[in-house]
Amino acid sequence: MTEVECLVPDLAGVPRGKILPAHKFIAGLKDRGLRLPESLFIQTITGDYPEEDVMEDVDQDMYLRPDPSTVRVVPWYDEPTCQVINDCYYRDGSAVDIAPRHVLRRVLRLYEEKGWAPVIAPELEFYLVKVNTDPDYPLEPPIGRSGRAEIGRQAFGIDAVNEFDPLFEDVYDYAEAQGLDVDTLHHESGPAQMEINFEHGDPLDLADQVFLFKRTVHQTALRHNVYATFMAKPLEGQPGSAMHLHQSVVERDSRLSLFVDRDGRESDLFRWHIGGLQTYLPQAMLLLAPHVNSYRRLVKNFSAPINMHWGRDNRTVGLRVPNSEAGDTRIENRLSGADANPYLAIAASLLCGYLGMVERLEPSNPITGSGYTKAHDLPKHLPDAIEKFQKAQRLHEHLGDLFGAAFTAVKWAEWDAYQDVISSWEREFLLLNV
C-alpha cells in the first residue's frame, strides 16, 4: 500500500480525517498518531458551526486510534490505498464523548452488562440520479443502458436494475474487496431507486459497513457519471429512502434468542422491547431523521411510517414484526431514513428497546389494518424533533449529556441556515401573487 486514509465518521456520518503515505502511518503508530480538532464533531452539514459554545471554546486536539478490524482496501483507486476507521481520544486517554462510534459503544455496553447481545440487519435504500450541478434544478432519473431515463415506477423490476448493470457490478466487486457483507439488491418503488440488504450481525460492525458502503456507492456512481443520493426524499412525488433496521436480542453466551421462550412463543422481553421503542423513539427521532429533508419522507401512503403503532408483517406501521421462524423473531424499525448516521440511528433504536426491556414497558396491541388510518404522531418537521430530543433526559443519560447538547446545537444551527434560504416554490407562487 502506498497511502492510508484515516477515516472518522462525523455527526452526519460524513467521512472526515487525513490521508498520508503508508510508511508515515506505520511510523505514527509508535506514538500518539494523527490529531484532529474536536470541533470536527460540531461541524454542520453546511460546514459551519453553532454559535452556542458547546465545547467550552477550547477546541483541543483529538488523537486518532485506528481500529485494526476496520482496515480495508480502497478498491476504486489506481494507486494501492487502504482505509481504516479511527476512534478518537483526548491526551489523557479518555474517549471523545460525542464521537458517533463511542455513542454506539455506550449503548452496546448496556446490553453487555446484562449478558445480552443485540443483532442488527440494515436495509438501505438510495436513488441514482442525473448529474446535477444546479441546486435549484429538480433531480431527474439517469439515463440507463437503453438510452432512456426511467419514468414510471419499476418496483422489483429485474430489467430496471440491469439498466445500470455495469455500475452495480462494480458496487458488488468493491463491496467484496472491502469485506462488506451485502446480501440482496433489488429495485424499489421510485424511478432508479434501489435497496441493498445487509446480513444480520454485530451492530458496530454493521454500522461500519453501512458507513463504508455509502461512500462506496457515492464513489462508484461518480465513476459511471451519475450521482447516488441517500437523501431521505430526493424526488418530488416519489417514495423516500429509508434505512430499515431489523433488530433482535440474543443471550451473549448461548446466542439463543431472548425474543422467544422455550416453547417458541414471543417472550416478555420481546414485548417490552417493542414497548420501549414505542415510548422512546419519538424522543429520539432526531437521530433517525436528522435533516430538514428527512421529514418529507414521513408521510402516509409512501411506505413510510407516520406513527409508532406496530403490527405483524405490516409495512404501514413504524414497527413491523416480519413472519419468521421462532428463533429468528425480530422487529423491523421502519422510522430511520437513509440519510441518518448509521452509528447514531442504531444506537438510538437499540437504546429505546433496551429501556423498554429494563423498565418492563408494555406495548400497545398490534394493529391489523393500515397504520395510515391512525393519527400522525411522529414529529412533522425538524424543530419539533429537536425540541423532543432536547428534553429527553432518559436518553441523554445513556447517550451522554455532552453528545445531546452538541447534537441539538448542530441541528439548531442547520435549521437556522435553512430558514435563510428562499425556495423556488416561494418565488414561483408568491413573487407576483401577494
For the stretch 199-209, pLDDT in tens is 999 999 999 99
Mean pLDDT of 187-197: 93
252-262 pLDDT tens trace: 999 999 999 99
Interatomic CA distance for residues 386 and 407, integer angstroms: 9
Q: What is the mean pLDDT of the segment spanning 119-125?
A: 97
Residue 416 dihedral angles phi and psi, to the nearest 5°: -60, -40
Burial 312-333 (b: 16+ CB within 10 A, else e): eebebbbbbbeeeeeeebbbbb
pLDDT-derived band at 32, boundaries 50, 70, 90: confident
CB-based contacts of 153-159 (< 8 A; 24+ apart in sequence): 153/189, 153/190, 153/191, 153/238, 154/187, 154/191, 155/187, 155/188, 155/189, 156/186, 156/187, 157/187, 158/187
Task: Tell me if 321 sits within 8 A of 309, measured CB to CB.
Answer: no
Amino acid identity for residue 122 in this structure: P
Eight-state DSSP code of residue 291: S
Please provide the average confidence, as pLDDT, over all residues in the chain: 95
Provide the grid cell at 290.
Answer: 436528522
Q: Is the pTM of this model over 0.95?
A: yes
Q: How far apart are CA 387 and CA 381, in angstroms?
A: 11
The pLDDT assigned to 211 comes to 98
Q: Which stretch of 2-11, 12-21, 51-60, 272-281 has the lowest confidence by average pLDDT?
A: 51-60
pLDDT computed for residue 57 by the predictor:
61
Cell numbers of 214, please?
455509502
Estimate the share of the chain in helix, then strand, then coil, as percent rounded to the nearest 5.
35, 20, 40
Euclidean distance between CA atoms 118 and 201, whole angstroms? 9
- What is the model's pLDDT at position 59? 80
% of the chain surpassing 70 pLDDT = 99
Q: How many CA atoms lie within 13 A of 31 on its CB side?
A: 6
Q: What is the DSSP string of 145-163?
A: TTSSB--S--TT-HHHHHT
Q: How confident is the model at residue 58 (pLDDT cuts 50, 70, 90)?
A: low
Domains of the chain by start residue, with CATH? 107-426 (3.30.590.10)
